[in-house]
Amino acid sequence: MKNNLKRPIYIEEYVPINDIHQYLFHSGTKHDSPVMLYLHGGPGSPESLFAYAFQEKWEDIFTVVHYDQRGSGKTLTKNPDKYPTIDLLIKDLYETIQYLKKKYNKEKIILLGHSWGSVLGSTFIKQYPEEVAYYIGVGQVVNMLENERVGYEKVKELIIQANDKKSLKKLEAIGDYPGDKFDRNCLKKCMQVRKLQGKYNLAVKVDLSICKTAFKSPIFKLSDISAMIKGVKANEEIQDYLGAFGLNSECAEYKVPIYYILGGNDWQTPYVIAKEYFNKINAPRKEFYLIPNAGHMTMLDQPQLFFDTLLEINNKEKLRIFSHS
């Protein structure tokens, strides 16, 4: 592990969490900074490998902790037969937060959930609002089936505009999509839709470029490749949970401040759906940010604009604390 930036906080560790050893990666510049726990997407796709590519400036204001969830990344490599359920992941997250609070002497932790991590984060803050200073949703999932309907119509629209007959034929071959249930058959179709969305920059492209970014990570190991492949099977039950997930069918009352940072070109988790739900949210404070020319990997696509947004959120929260002290 290379600490190229000579960070005072730069730790890789396996911590006993909920009966297994789980992987945490900490990086920061000051021991008294607020602690942000980053919940990765997927399920089964840890983003700790990409941290070096987008979060250097973040570490000036936060101590950022990446956590490879049960059934993902380095935690899966360490525990190849320990598969997640939503109840286990919520308990894992609770215990991880207790560990971080004690380690950094904090009363609360900031949660940032990206994509699938936004499902886990949104579920957690409903159950344990007292543990979280505020929540940031990136690529916020509100309803998986609705995401797929809107994203499918968008790529179809662009394919027709471009008179791309080859892609249109591929899209039509997929058949009815997404249907009325996001099951494993739908997931297979989803992978085909993602390829077409990637071609039109509407979703993450799994190509050589993104692979190179992961391989260059100072914490990359060859075992991370096999973990990524095995993560699909390990997270089958979580995929089922995700497929049935719907925030818009639940009460939109939150006891923690809510911030959404969404990409203007993200049609994998379309911002239009998150915006509609966000308008219904009742929370102590809330703010919606749309980053132009950014897709689903919003922080990688527009790192400076994303950092500027985090800085604004942090300043708002600091000002509130100062005004109440």
pLDDT at 1: 55
CA distances from 314 to 106, 125, 319 (A): 16, 19, 9
Q: Looking at the whole model, is its pTM more than 0.75?
A: yes
CA distances from 177 to 182, 247, 266, 303 (A): 10, 21, 19, 33
Domain regions of the chain by residue span: 9-323
Q: How far apart are CA 211 and CA 175, in angstroms?
A: 30
Q: How far apart are CA 237 and CA 242, in angstroms?
A: 9
pLDDT at 9: 93
Residue 30 CB partners (closer than 8 Å, separation 6+): 8, 63
pLDDT at 93: 98
The answer to whether residues 107 and 101 touch, using CB atoms and an 8 Å cutoff, is: yes
String of DSSP letters for 24-54: EEEEES-TTSPEEEEE-BTTTB--GGGHHHH
Count of other CB atoms within 10 angstroms of residue 243: 19
Q: How far apart are CA 40 and CA 50, in angstroms?
A: 11
Q: Residue-wise pLDDT tens for the chain (325 aa)?
A: 567 778 899 999 999 999 999 999 999 999 999 999 999 998 999 999 999 999 999 999 999 999 999 999 999 999 999 999 999 999 999 999 999 999 999 999 999 999 999 999 999 999 999 999 999 999 999 999 999 999 999 999 999 999 999 999 999 999 889 988 877 788 888 889 999 998 888 888 777 788 889 989 999 999 999 999 999 899 999 988 988 889 988 889 999 999 999 999 999 999 999 999 999 999 999 999 999 999 999 999 999 999 999 999 999 998 776 555 4
The answer to whether residues 124 and 254 touch, using CB atoms and an 8 Å cutoff, is: no
CA distances from 95 to 35, 86, 89, 92, 165 (A): 15, 14, 10, 5, 52
pLDDT at 322: 55
pLDDT at 82: 95
Cα–Cα–Cα angle for 217, 33, 40, nearest 5°? 40
For the four alpha carbons of 79, 40, 28 and 316, in that order, the dihedral sign comes to negative
Architecture of the domain spanning 9-323:
3-Layer(aba) Sandwich (3.40)
